[in-house]
Amino acid sequence: MKNSEGYPNPTAGKAIYQADKLPKPIADVIHILRLVAGMVGLRIKSVELEDRKSGKRYWYGR
């Protein structure tokens, strides 16, 4: 990622990457769903998961 003057800004790039990344338990669930769907010839295009306890929503989409 580069700043407005065109210089590299690795700190901001890392922060944005971490903010957009799914938490590991959620990523693991999506990985398993994709594997199972693939076994029967299906492809998962998007998934919305909601944490029952916190109410936080997670989206996965290609």
As for how many domains the chain has, the answer is 1
Domain residue limits at 17: 10-61
The reported pTM is: 0.67
Residue 51 maps to a domain:
yes
Residue 4 maps to a domain:
no
Q: Which residues contact 56 (CB under 8 A, 6 or more apart)?
A: 50
Cα dihedral value 17, 19, 24, 28, nearest 10 = -80
Higher-confidence residue of 6 and 2: namely: 6
Residue 5 maps to a domain:
no
* pLDDT for the residue 19: 73
pLDDT tens digit sequence for 5-53: 787 777 877 777 777 788 999 999 999 999 999 999 999 999 999 999 9
Residue 1 maps to a domain:
no
Residue 39 maps to a domain:
yes
Residue 3 maps to a domain:
no
